[in-house]
């Protein structure tokens, strides 16, 4: 019973470590910037991407039909359009209002105004857009939805938000802040380990061919093929380094001595993805999540006092 109780207490200490809200401020501001940039990137093509059949690129109905196979309860833009029609609003008007609300939610998150409603609105509207454009969505949309979901449920507002200065909210529970930080950290560990393991199982990352294919794709060829040919001998070492960096992430990111090295390596990898492949939104959301999870010192005074007393 004593050993069982000790293990239970260790589990609780791991899941509910007392933390400050520094990481939450980083996540809120970073995701606010992410949502704002996302909306600005899609501004000129918003109606073209999400209009119905005959008005847009592919037709919103096709992406929503694919989403309905997973679950009919997943939010889609057609929900908003149907609601708008009930009050005599056209499809174009509803899409415009949805874009304005998404952009405003991102700005509010950056400023820390109406944090909880802004986080809920950003999560819901981005999910609607991502699921309605199923054929055009990729990894950045999945990570944005996940990160916004965590932010929506986290104990907002943080002490750096305007909401905190105006309303003068009480100090948040350090254990609750620590719990949501742990959720984000464990999520990233699973993502990188599974992704790294999948890369290690094939030979494309060991010989550099997967990097070559990714960098010369017509939609991602930011770097000239001539430059890639000159430095072709660096592709296998880079591919191996990426495999090892990701698969060992859950181990070395937790150790204080190696955390900074692995964090810098992961951030450099995503920065390179954004600059060399043009996947700016994917790179930004991964950088924000990593900085919030492991890049911000947020040990609470309570935890520091406990560690000092234990040392004494």
306 inside domain: no
Asked whether residue 163 falls in the same domain as residue 203, the answer is no
119 inside domain: yes
Asked whether residue 226 falls in the same domain as residue 106, the answer is no
120 inside domain: yes
Model confidence pLDDT, tens digit, residues 272-309? 988 888 889 999 999 999 999 999 887 765 555 454 44
pTM listed for this prediction: 0.88
SS3 annotation, the chain: CHHHHHHHHHHHHHHCCCECCHHHHHHHHHHHHHHHHHHHHHCCCHHHHHCCCCCCCCCHHHHHHHHHHHCCCCCCHHHHHHHHHCCCCCHHHHHHHHHHHHHHHHHHHHHCCCHHHHHHHHHHHHHHHHHHCCCCCCHHHHHHHHHHHHHHHCCCCCCCCHHHHHHCCCCCCHHHHHHHHHHHHHHHHHHHHHHHHHHHHCCCCCCCHHHHHHHHCCCCCCCCHHHHHHCHHHHHHHHHHHHHHHHCHHHHCCCHHHHHHHHHHHHHHHHHHHHHHCCHHHHHHHHHHHHHHHCCCCECHHHHHHHHHHHC
Asked whether residue 127 falls in the same domain as residue 192, the answer is no
Asked whether residue 24 falls in the same domain as residue 163, the answer is yes
Asked whether residue 154 falls in the same domain as residue 27, the answer is yes
Asked whether residue 204 falls in the same domain as residue 160, the answer is no
Once rounded to an integer, what is the mean pLDDT over residues 86-105?
92
How many domains does the chain divide into? 2
275 inside domain: yes
Model confidence pLDDT, tens digit, residues 246-265? 999 999 999 999 999 999 99
8 inside domain: no
Which residue range(s) make up the domain with 238? 178-300
Mean pLDDT score of the chain? 85
In this prediction, residue 65 carries a pLDDT of 63
Asked whether residue 236 falls in the same domain as residue 134, the answer is no
Model confidence pLDDT, tens digit, residues 63-83? 666 666 666 678 888 888 888
């Amino acid at each position: 019973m004593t050993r069982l109780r000790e293990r239970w207490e260790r589990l609780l200490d791991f899941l509910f470590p007392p933390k400050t809200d520094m990481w939450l401020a980083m996540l809120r501001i970073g995701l606010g910037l992410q949502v704002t940039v996302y909306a600005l990137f899609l501004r000129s093509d918003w109606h073209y991407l999400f209009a119905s059949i005959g008005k847009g690129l592919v037709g919103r109905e096709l992406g929503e039909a694919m989403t309905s196979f997973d679950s009919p309860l997943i939010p889609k833009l057609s929900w908003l359009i149907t609601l708008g029609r009930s009050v005599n609003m056209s499809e174009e008007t509803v899409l415009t209002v949805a874009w304005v609300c998404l952009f405003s939610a991102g700005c509010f998150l950056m400023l820390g105004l109406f944090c909880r409603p802004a986080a809920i609105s950003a999560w819901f509207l981005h999910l609607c857009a991502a699921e309605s454009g199923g054929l055009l969505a990729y990894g950045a949309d999945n990570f944005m939805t996940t990160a916004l979901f965590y932010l929506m449920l986290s104990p907002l507002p943080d002490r750096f938000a305007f909401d905190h200065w105006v309303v003068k909210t009480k100090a948040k529970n350090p254990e609750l802040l620590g719990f949501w930080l742990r959720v984000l950290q464990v999520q990233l560990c699973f993502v990188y380990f599974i992704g790294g393991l999948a890369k290690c199982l094939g030979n494309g990352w060991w010989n550099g061919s997967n990097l070559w294919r990714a960098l010369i794709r017509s939609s991602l060829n930011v770097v000239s093929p001539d430059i890639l040919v000159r430095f072709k001998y660096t592709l296998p070492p880079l591919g191996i380094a990426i495999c090892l960096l990701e698969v060992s992430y859950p181990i070395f990111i937790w150790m204080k001595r190696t955390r900074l090295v692995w964090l810098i390596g992961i951030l450099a990898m995503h920065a390179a993805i954004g600059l060399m492949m043009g996947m700016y939104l994917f790179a930004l959301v991964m950088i924000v999540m990593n900085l919030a999870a492991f890049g911000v010192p947020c040990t609470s005074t309570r935890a520091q006092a406990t560690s000092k007393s234990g040392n004494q």
